[in-house]
């Protein structure tokens, strides 16, 4: 009996030792995971993957955005692979991203400069474009999404100009509006409808920066030699049309201010 009891105790002790050994192995495996250790095979795979991610950035062939490329470089750095080749590639990728950022900044600056110049031209409307034409060009600039405060301010001014043109009951270019106004004032005065003539004068004056905006009448023009009649103001000129019941001059040039209002008008005898 004592021999049997001894064997039973021996078997139980072997079981205890087995379970203790398994517990130590599992704990050891968990410890490796918690400290972030990896096998040589895993490390090699991560190094190769890091190289594949960095190479398109370095060569400039990546189709990803600047922010996405920057994130990739940051992720690779955070892996702390401590591989000489990867470390060198990280430096090259960072330099490439600096160049890319500079190029993007310069490209945006050029777009902003171009949009600014175009918006000032549209506000001045030297080409006498209609409200619809102005709106089409304005919307094309909006689609650029430049996010520049000055551009946004100019877009707001142009939008107001277009609204003013339409609220004035006309989608016509400024030159055409003036020509129609001159004819309407003359015909209304000729037919004795002075109320309509006066209303047209007041409406036309709203196109100008002030009632005293200068009007220059060209008597003759030969090359660069220009001979002018005595200067007058737009209010006086419109009333002159009403008084003589005729419009005897054509429009030669229209100068506008930054708000799109006419600041000077050049006429030439028909």
Cβ–Cβ under 8 Å, residues 234 and 254: no
Furthest CA-CA distance within the chain: 146
User: Residues 70-96: pLDDT tens digits?
Assistant: 999 999 999 998 899 999 999 999 999
Structure tokens at 203: 């409406």
User: Residues 163-210: pLDDT tens digits?
Assistant: 877 776 566 778 888 999 999 999 999 999 999 999 999 999 998 999
Q: What phi and psi values does residue 140 have, to the nearest 5 degrees? A: -65, -40
| pTM of this structure | 0.49
Q: Is the pLDDT of residue 234 over 50?
A: yes
**Helix and strand numbers, DSSP H then E, in the chain:** 9, 5
The predicted pLDDT at position 3 comes to 53
Cβ–Cβ under 8 Å, residues 228 and 248: no
End-to-end CA distance of the chain: 141
């Amino acid at each position: 009996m004592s021999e049997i009891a001894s064997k039973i105790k021996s078997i139980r002790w072997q079981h205890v030792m087995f379970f203790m050994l398994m517990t130590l192995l599992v704990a050891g495996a968990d410890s490796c995971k918690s400290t972030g250790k990896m096998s040589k095979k895993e490390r090699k795979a991560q190094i190769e993957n890091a190289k594949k991610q960095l190479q398109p950035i370095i060569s400039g062939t990546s189709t990803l955005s600047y922010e996405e490329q920057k994130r990739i470089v940051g992720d690779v750095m955070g892996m702390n692979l401590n591989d000489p080749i990867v470390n060198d590639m990280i430096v090259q990728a960072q330099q490439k991203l600096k160049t890319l950022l500079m190029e993007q900044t310069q490209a945006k600056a050029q777009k902003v400069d171009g949009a600014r110049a175009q918006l000032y031209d549209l506000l001045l409307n030297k080409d006498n474009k209609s409200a619809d034409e102005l709106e089409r060009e304005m919307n094309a600039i909006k689609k650029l999404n430049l996010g520049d405060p000055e551009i946004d301010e100019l877009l707001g001014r142009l939008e107001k100009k277009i609204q003013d043109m339409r609220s004035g009951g006309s989608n016509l270019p400024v030159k055409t509006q003036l020509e129609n106004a001159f004819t309407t004032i003359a015909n209304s005065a000729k037919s004795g409808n002075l109320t309509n003539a006066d209303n047209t004068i007041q409406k036309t004056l709203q196109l100008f920066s002030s009632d005293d905006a200068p009007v220059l009448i060209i008597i003759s023009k030969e090359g660069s030699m220009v001979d002018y009649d005595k200067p007058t103001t737009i209010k006086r000129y419109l009333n002159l049309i009403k008084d003589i019941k005729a419009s005897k001059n054509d429009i030669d040039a229209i100068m506008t201010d930054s708000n799109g209002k006419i600041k000077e008008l050049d006429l030439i005898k028909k």
